[in-house]
Amino acid sequence: MSNKAIFLDRDDTLIEDPGYINDPDQVVLLDGAAKALIELRNMGYKLIVVSNQAAVAHGIVTEKLLGQIHDRLNQLLAEKNAPLDRIYYCPYHPEGAVQKYRKESNSRKPNPGMLLTAADEMDIDLARSWVIGNSGSDVQAGQRAGCKTILITHPSHYKHSESAHAEPDYKAINITEAVNIVKKYHRSPHNAPTTVDSTPQSTTQSEPPTLPQNIEHAPAPEPASTEQIASDDREHLLNSILEQLKTMQRTDMFDEFSVMRLMAGVVQIVALFCLVATIWFLMRPNANDNSVFIALGFAVVLQVMSLTFYMMQGRK
């Protein structure tokens, strides 16, 4: 029986993307990436990276250095018991600075070449496989290969491209939610693999069917009233607001646990307690200025500490 696989983009899907990575020490795993891969492997998927690497064509890195970068990625994942099965990359770009790599290639996403090669070399059933990435080119490559697709749409990870109009099967805030989507798909009773219809469509326009003579035509609908249009607009606005709130909730739900955030919350509570103590000291008949200033000073210091922890969390 053929294998099934998860095809993963590399930058901003598994690792941080500071721009073109040109040093193995720049490889930093995204939060939750290793855990996600472990869960996917436990579901029986092969784990395959498929990545456009135009940096080679632009002369920023050599293929040898790129190999060292990928060795570092494999090392970091292996240390967390989440090794990859294989990494495919496309070094070509039609506007590359290096003549050897300046060309169009079927391997460059949104073309499906890397996925098709992996399917041939690793006996992958593409209809049972998924593509997870943060750009429209990932989605299109998956669709052209016949895979199901998940687009990561986190604001800091989503990558606009000329293929951004591609509509994925699912959207996720990060790879953690993407794994949950795959799990939910497996639990669904309607999870039969979908197939890609490759039958060419005729360009000849068919004539509309002729209605039997004994069928009466339905009366034309009356135009919608102004009140109906306004009601529809309000409903559309409310649905848009609800969708935005759901997205915000998903972002919070699938963010990784943060010690900094926990500490900031604890310090914030203590600062609030100090403010309450300050008010209590002020309301006492024999109020002591020293006690008031001490409590207020602690509240200010703790509040600054809380803000500092939140800033450190934001920079993580």
Active site residues: 9, 11
Rg (CA), the chain: 28
Q: What is the longest distance spanned by two Cα atoms in the chain?
A: 99
Return d(Cα 124, Cα 117) in angstroms, integer. 10
What is the CA 161 to chain-centroid distance, rounded? 15
Burial class (CB in 10 A: 0-12, 13-18, 19+), 153: middle
DSSP 302-315: HHHHHHHHHHHHHH
Neighbours of 265 (CB within 10 A): 13
Alpha-carbon distances of 180 from 171, 215, 237, 253, rounded to whole Å = 11, 51, 29, 12
Return d(Cα 161, Cα 113) in angstroms, integer. 19
What is the CA 120 to chain-centroid distance, rounded? 27
